[in-house]
């Protein structure tokens, strides 16, 4: 009797490293305990690609799914982020963004493994950003890789890390990231000079706006070498 066949993609080390790809029978499928994370191609549902992801029973972190259409490029995109894995040794995932089952290559990575504690998972550093998962600052410019991604600068170029931060004493809120002068697309200005300073790195520029007095001591700038740029009639009380 002919056995059902699946295509196997084994991902090594719980971090998303490529191990092997080949055709195996369902009865010969390797155990997730031996290869850490195993991706299997299931029968498509409505033409869409479905993957079964097996992992050790002790694995309790989240999973990210990555996709590539050209392995020679060395670049992967994040297709699904933060899939919960705790409580089950496997999960089934359907690629809803590829309904026609176009040719794709898939990898899974541990979304919570961040060896260098720079705010980026090891698999994202390796597959997406090409940064060093063993070093928190790949370009040695003083700004951690994760912060560079958040700030929109290049973590592989030491000359690109300086940005302008924004504080608005009227419309701002210290819960915003300070990356935009107006609230837009999840970004917005800080309310206080202190909060803007705490979000800054050396040589950043902090732009102040609003009509309310920034009644804060100059010492809130701390040890960072930043430039403060008040707009219009903005005043800073030393």
Confidence band (pLDDT; 50, 70, 90) for 33?
low
Q: 120, 156 in Cβ contact below 8 A? A: no
- Between 32 and 75, the more confident residue is 75
> Which letter does DSSP use for residue 172 in this model?
-
**Residue, of 154 and 59, whose pLDDT is higher:** 154
pLDDT at 98: 77
Question: CB-hemisphere CA count at 13 Å for 231?
Answer: 12
Choose the weakest-confidence range: 14-18, 137-141, 160-164, 222-226: 14-18
Task: Give the pLDDT of residue 18.
Answer: 34
CB 120 within 8 A of CB 145: yes
Could you identify the residue written with the tokens 């803007």? 196
Backbone angles phi, psi at 194, to 5 degrees: -60, -50
The string of pLDDT tens digits covering residues 85-122 is 988 889 999 988 876 667 788 889 999 999 999 999 99
| CA 28 to each of CA 23, 69, 117: distance values in angstroms, whole numbers, following the listed order | 10, 28, 38
The beta strands (E) that lie in the chain are given as 5-12, 17-25, 37-45, 48-54, 62-68, 77-84, 90-94, 105-110, 164-168, 205-209, 214-215, 227-230, 236-237
Distance CA 163, CA 141 (A): 13
DSSP single-letter state for residue 14: T
- Report residue 2's pLDDT band, with 50, 70 and 90 as the boundaries: very low
Counting beta carbons within 10 angstroms of the beta carbon of residue 63, is it exposed (0 to 12), middle (13 to 18) or buried (19 or more)?
buried
For residue 51, what are its two tokens? 């993957």
pLDDT recorded at residue 35: 58
Beta pairing partners, 92: 52
Backbone angles phi, psi at 122, to 5 degrees: -55, -45
Hey, what are 72's tokens?
Answer: 């020679």
**3-30: per-residue pLDDT in tens?**
333 333 433 333 433 333 444 444 555 5
- 15 compared with 136, residue with greater pLDDT: 136
pLDDT digit string, tens, across residues 169-224:
999 999 999 999 999 988 999 999 889 989 999 899 999 998 877 777 655 555 56
- Is 160 exposed, middle or buried (CB count within 10 Å of its CB: 0-12, 13-18, 19+)? middle
Could you tell me the two tokens for 153?
Answer: 């600068």
């Amino acid at each position: 009797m002919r056995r059902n066949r699946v295509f196997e993609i084994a991902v090594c080390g719980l971090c998303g490293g490529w191990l092997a790809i080949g055709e195996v029978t369902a009865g010969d499928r390797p155990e997730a305990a031996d290869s850490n994370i195993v991706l299997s191609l299931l029968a498509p549902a409505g033409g869409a690609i479905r993957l079964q992801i097996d992992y050790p029973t002790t694995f309790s972190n989240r999973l990210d799914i990555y996709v590539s259409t050209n392995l020679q490029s060395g670049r992967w995109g994040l297709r699904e982020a933060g899939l919960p894995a705790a409580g089950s040794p496997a999960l089934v995932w359907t690629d809803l963004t590829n309904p026609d089952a176009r040719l794709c290559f898939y990898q899974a990575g541990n979304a919570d493994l961040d060896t260098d504690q720079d705010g980026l998972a090891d698999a994202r550093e390796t597959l997406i950003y090409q940064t060093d998962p063993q070093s928190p600052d790949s370009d040695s410019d003083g700004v951690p890789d994760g912060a560079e991604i958040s700030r929109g600068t290049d973590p592989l170029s030491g000359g690109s890390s300086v940005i302008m931060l924004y504080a608005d004493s009227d419309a701002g809120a210290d819960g915003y990231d300070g990356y935009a002068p107006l609230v837009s697309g999840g970004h917005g200005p800080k309310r206080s000079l202190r909060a803007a300073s705490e979000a800054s790195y050396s040589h950043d520029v902090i732009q102040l706006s609003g009509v309310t007095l920034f009644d804060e001591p100059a010492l809130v700038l701390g040890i960072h070498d930043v430039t403060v740029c008040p707009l219009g009639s903005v005043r800073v009380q030393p």
